[in-house]
Chain A
Amino acid sequence: MRAPDHPVMSKGDVLLAVENVSLGFGGVRALTDVSFDIRKSEIRAIIGPNGAGKTSMLNCINGFYYPTEGRITFKGVKRPKMRPYVAARGGIARTFQNVALFKSMSTLDNIMAGRSIKMHSNFFWQLFRHGPAMKEEVEHRRFVEEIIDFLEIQHIRKTPVGRLPYGLQKRVELGRALAMEPELLLLDEPMAGMNLEEKEDMSRFILEVNQQYGTTIALIEHDMGVVMDLSDRVVVLEYGRKIADGTPAEVKNDQRVIDAYLGVAH
């Protein structure tokens, strides 16, 4: 699904680079001069206290916001101002902090919706669900079924997602993002509000997506145990600025990070 004009990337190359990015809303500065990179096939965590600008960062990456200053390059190409669906076609998929699914649609239909950007047959055939549209749908359905199998949600295939418990909705949302076969998957607090068992399941899925499909993952998460276990590298934000960047072990022992999380006597 990679556009032919992009260079083929291998593990460890810089997939996405954030360079001196600042973002302001009127007088409020959400991000100030943030730089870091995300390498191919790694799990990159973005952490920080509440209001540190993590979600704003994610929004910049997937094209929902456009940085006031600085630039973001994805696969060596500077990101122009774009609409999120263009970003999605470019290979960036995301899940949301508050689940954003079609509540009255089934699990299957929600994930199929994620697949729609891959569908090419024209409106006429799709309307009659015939000819090339049918063939295409069968192929996509198969792919979606593999995701359903992968995420172990066969039993809710036909259940409207609005009736599902939160943990499962999160899983469906991940499924929809996976249906886009993204190169970069952005997960905004994938484990918020989950119990321990659900967190373990979700961690397993994230690791498997990363290992099995080589998908690069950037995630925001508050559960430090999860972050330390899952991620290869961690970037820490505080008040819109980057205060640390490195392996989980390095970050954990960084004085500035400790201060940011535990507070410091002035």
Chain B
Amino acid sequence: MRRLLQIGAVASVTAVLAVVLAWRYGETLLPFAVTSAAPDPQDGKVAGGVYTNAYFDLSYPLPRGFGEGLAGPDPSDSGYYVLGNFVPQAAPSGTILVTAQDTFFAGPHRDVAVAAKEFRESISQVEGMSIDREPAEMTIGNRLAWRIDFSGVGLYRAMVSAEMRCHLVSITFTAPDPQARETLASSLNHVSLAAGRDPPVCIRNYAAGDQLIRKVAPTDMAPSPMPIPARIIIGSDGAVRHVHVIRATEGQRKTIEQALRQWTFKPHTVNGRAVEVETGLALRSGGAITSID
């Protein structure tokens, strides 16, 4: 009995200590967090008629009868993703395209409102295109989003965009008539953006600043005329705990991942608490970081 009490006491102290450390330094100090595999933006899937994306904590029940269409391309050099292409499995009634643009790699940062207005200006210049609904605020999953409707040559489209983890996530509906467009767009009422845990704080160009303590250049990296984009998640202890090489050959990807996992940073704090940071960087041969501004 005494032995059991001792074990229980040790366990309790350990648990309290773990909670305190986790609060102070973030959860990455905990062994299970260190070894956990973090999802990447392209890792969404459809099951039971619901599209889920763990990276964005997004859950989207598709309209009835919709399923996966042809998969899109691999992520681009500029961090653009086709996350999903959803089509009706029976009679044609429209399509749904879900995309994401990594805002770290898309020029100077603009918020979603500005992006929506820029899109409106651009699309209005397309020959034969009409703006059916000016950009307007809405919410999807309790998150601010902007919607714009436009049409031309018998296709009625709506695009809804929201910012998530420094990505501009867009859902574009294309339908044969305005009513069908509205029906498709109403499916967003069922989107949930789970609050399982706070995502890392995303900070632009964090790796290019004074926060970088230790840098290891990729070895034997095949020359690339273009910078290779990557995202990293830095734990609250300053160690790199996840690397996502967005677009590269397999050989480049391997050596970059090996190198970046050895980088260390000063811990980033918010209100005195160490937190995880997610940032993007563009690598050239030899490991030089190219500014992504």
Question: Do A and B come from the same complex?
Answer: no
* Chain A residues within 8 Å of B, Cβ to Cβ: none
